[in-house]
Amino acid sequence: MAGSLTNAGEALALNKVFRDNDDIYVGLATSTINEADDLATIIEEDDANYIRKLITFTSPVDDGTGSFKIENDVLVEFPAFSADADNNITYAFITKEATATSGDIIAFADLGQGKQPGAGGKLYIPAGGLVISLD
């Protein structure tokens, strides 16, 4: 028998995973990420200045279609690249791990065509730019 979350269940789940938790970090990957991946199976950006950044989220809201969503509530700014990026950065991911190379990815986002910053270039996720939803 298949079940479904109610609106209250969706809001509770988003709060528990992304807001009522230990620190949550956003990272950048140069490889495709899918639902079965973890930190050991992706290729993370490797610039000397790159670090995962803390990210925080808004309270869940109904988007008007019965889907609950959260979004990052402040600008996330990655440090300036020390050298030209070797590969296109194509995915962002969310994890509880600040620096580990093993552990879970709890959410990910396809960045489309990706970005390949040059030396001194920075990447940003604007407030509201990373949206996670349940429906």
Residue 1 lies in a domain: no
Query: For residue 40, what are the contacts with CB-CB under 8 A and spacing of at least 6?
Result: 101, 102
Question: With bands split at pLDDT 50, 70 and 90, how would you rate the model's confidence at 134?
Answer: confident
Number of domains in the chain: 1
Model confidence over 49-107: pLDDT tens digits? 999 999 999 999 998 888 899 999 999 999 999 998 889 999 999 999 999 999 999 99
2 inside domain: no
- CA dist 106 and 43 (Å) reads 16
Domain encompassing residue 102: 7-134
- Say if 63 falls within a structural domain: yes
Q: pLDDT (tens digit, 9 = 90+) per residue, 3-25?
A: 988 889 999 999 999 998 789 99
Assess if residue 103 is contained within a domain. Answer: yes
